[in-house]
Amino acid sequence: MQLHDFSLGGIRAESAVPFAVNEVLTMRLPPHSCHPPLELTGRVVHCWPQESRYQVGIEFCQTRPEPTASPWHRMFRLFSMAFEPPAAATSMSCDRPTTDA
């Protein structure tokens, strides 16, 4: 998944695979400059095809009750990326939760 842009509410990314609306994802950004890796949780709000890939809108959400689990505690890390020299498109990994069948 390639991160394109972000705001206080979420991110816009491009993916090789589609995601279902309302699907909850755990996203991991690799270390960047002097910052450690970053993990965020979000909910897919839209996913549509564009050429051979998918444009995905993901709204940040908190999935655990402890305050430190809030994605808003990690906003500084995201916004600091905007002020650093541009690199190639920022890649991130994404995990879908497993379900017990």
If you average pLDDT over residues 6-17, what whole number do you get?
A: 89
User: 44-101, pLDDT tens digit by residue?
Assistant: 999 999 999 999 999 988 766 676 666 666 666 666 665 555 554 456 666 666 555 4
Domain membership of residue 95 (yes or no) is no
What total number of domains does the chain contain? 1
Q: In this predicted structure, which of 4-8, 31-35, 44-48, 93-97 has the lowest mean pLDDT?
A: 93-97
Domain membership of residue 96 (yes or no) is no
Q: How much is the pLDDT for 83?
A: 58
Domain membership of residue 88 (yes or no) is no
Domain membership of residue 5 (yes or no) is yes
SS3 state of residue 75: helix
C-alpha to C-alpha distance for 57 and 55, rounded to whole angstroms: 7
Domain membership of residue 78 (yes or no) is no
SS3 state of residue 28: strand
Query: Could you tell me what percent of the chain has a pLDDT over 70?
Result: 58
Instruction: Show the domain range for 42.
Output: 1-65
Give the CA distances from residue 99 to residues 24, 65, 78, 86, 96, in Å, rounded to whole numbers and listed in that order: 12, 20, 29, 38, 9
